Structure 1
Amino acid sequence: MLLPGESHFTTPDARGFSEVDTWVFDLDNTLYPSDARVWPQVDERITLYVMRLYGLDAISARALQKHFYHHYGTTLKALMVEEAVDPHDFLDFAHDIDHSTIKLDESLGTAIEHLPGRKLILTNGSRRHAERVADKLGILSHFEDVFDIAAADFVPKPDRGTYERFLLRHGVDPRRSALFEDIARNLVVPHDLGMATVLVVPQTPDPFRERFEQEAVKEPHIDHITSDLAAFLERCVLPVVPPEPSAP
């Protein structure tokens, strides 16, 4: 875990950023803080979807939703397998949220803008959701593209095939890329593939998420940990990466 007052941690054998030319970011709980209240809204919408589909009360639906999440990786995957749910219908419903809670993040936008090379979003959510959230944060224009759950053929992270499909689709050399992600288990495969890995954790525990999703675990597949993404990019990444060559 991060020590009190500690916002960044780097392992002794961490992969650095000097050779990185592609910067890959997860979306939910990575590019925005917990007080944006994006994920709690999505989570509540998923519970409501399960309630209506199965005719359950809120408590029973919540329990079933969490069972699906732990067994299949995402509730969507479970409902596609067990109920042949239309994934697009599910995603439209789950992501029908109030985006007014998301604040423009100028410091994050500036830090991402200054990263040399390509920037991509890799998410288990939908493209529309990612674009709307990134737009509210003021960072959408800095990204080349979004690789969403539909592009992954609805197979969620941390499935190895999803990362391989992403790398192939966008022509990314994993040994020259870095991935920023909020769930530790989602960094195992990327690290194995050669990516530099950064775990983004909340500054204070988020009551709307499970404990394992927020742990600042110091394991071999995690090179860096931060609870302040913008500051990490400004202080720990940008000072060690070469600037992009200027036009002649």
Structure 2
Amino acid sequence: MRTTRAVRVRHAARAFPREVPAGSAPARQPVWLFDLDNTLHHASHAIFPQINRLMTAYVARVLGTDDATASQVRVDYWRRYGATILGMVRHHGVDPDDFLAEAHRFEDLRAMVRAERGLAQLLRALPGRKILLTNAPVAYAREVLRLIGLKRAFLREIAVEHMWVHRRLRPKPDPLMLRRLLARERIAPSRAILVEDTLSHLKRYRRLGIGTVWVTGYLRRVPPGGQPTSTADALHPMQAAAVGARANSPHQPAATPILFANRPGYVSVKVKSVLQLKRRLVRRG
């Protein structure tokens, strides 16, 4: 009986969390789905390098290998499955909660966070509901939101622990997870707008009929012929792979610089900062 109850409680914790009551909103207002890392704050400044080191160390311990091999495996699993955690669970039977906890240990997160001022005012000014949709763990996501002044900015915070569908972990860019979220919230895809820095997520979800906003301000640029200064300075694997950034990968030689002048067809709006959202949307009518 105790075992059954423990399993039931664990699965309940992984379900989509209840939304904070906010009264009825006009049916035609948009529903904003905001990513967190490198969208609402500058994760590549210090947080992603730390996550890279922690993930690599974790993979190395599980595989019993050196850091260089572990880093290759880490990136390969992201490219194959969309998230390193999926490869580690599928091929090595790791506990996803343990993996997430070990990959997001920070002695002084406050000192690592960098964000723009005015985000709370911007989110309040945008019409419609706002939902946080992040592949990061919930404890980390909530602490970052608190540190950047967005603790009460979202009606719901959906983190990776909440992305279990049919007993399988399905983080972004899994389409079934997003379809389930939209169905549960009774949101027509045409009303949903995903605000993201990761192009592969935007591309996959645009096929569902949602609007897409690409945030480029925190994506690292490499000058012609330049190389990353060290592995610790490299982007999170999901950033490097998502923009086809071989020049930003610690595992590939630098080739051409990453330029963000073009807007892919599956991107509805491209902005450098989320602070530009209201002005750009007004301009588009």
Q: Name the TM tier (shorter chain).
A: 0.7 to 0.9
Matched residue SS, 1:24: strand
Give the structure, 1 or 2, with the largest relative contact order (CA under 8 Å, sep 6 or more). Answer: 1
Deviations 1:97-150 (A, max 9, x none): 231221464312211121122110111121112111111111121101112222
Aligned-residue identity in percent: 28
Question: Which residue of the other structure, out of 156, 160, 178, is the alignment partner of 1:149?
Answer: 160
Question: Which residue of the other structure, out of 196, 218, 236, is the alignment partner of 2:280?
Answer: 236
Are the aligned partners of 1:104 and 1:136 in contact in 2 as well (CA < 8 Å)? no
Q: Where in structure 2 are the equivalents of 1:127-142 lying within 5 Å?
A: 127-142=138-153
Matched residue SS, 2:162: coil
- In the aligned structure 1, how far is the partner of 2:97 from the partner of 2:43? 26
Matched residue SS, 2:118: helix
Q: Which residue of 2 aligns with 1:167?
A: 182
Are the aligned partners of 1:188 and 1:221 in contact in 2 as well (CA < 8 Å)? yes
Q: Please give the root-mean-square deviation of Cα atoms over the aligned residues, in Å.
A: 2.2
Change (3 A) 1:127 1:204: closer
- In the aligned structure 2, how far is the partner of 1:225 from the partner of 1:212? 19
Are the aligned partners of 2:134 and 2:159 in contact in 1 as well (CA < 8 Å)? yes
Which one has the largest radius of gyration? 2
**Residue 226 in structure 1 maps to residue 271 in structure 2:** yes
Gaps of 5+ in 2: 1-27, 222-227, 229-233, 244-257
**Residue 53 in structure 1 maps to residue 62 in structure 2:** yes
**Residue 99 in structure 1 maps to residue 100 in structure 2:** no
Gaps of 5+ in 1: 1-18, 242-248
Deviates more, 1:137-146 or 1:147-156: 147-156
Q: Which residue of 1 aligns with 2:251?
A: none
Normalised TM-score (structure 2):
0.71
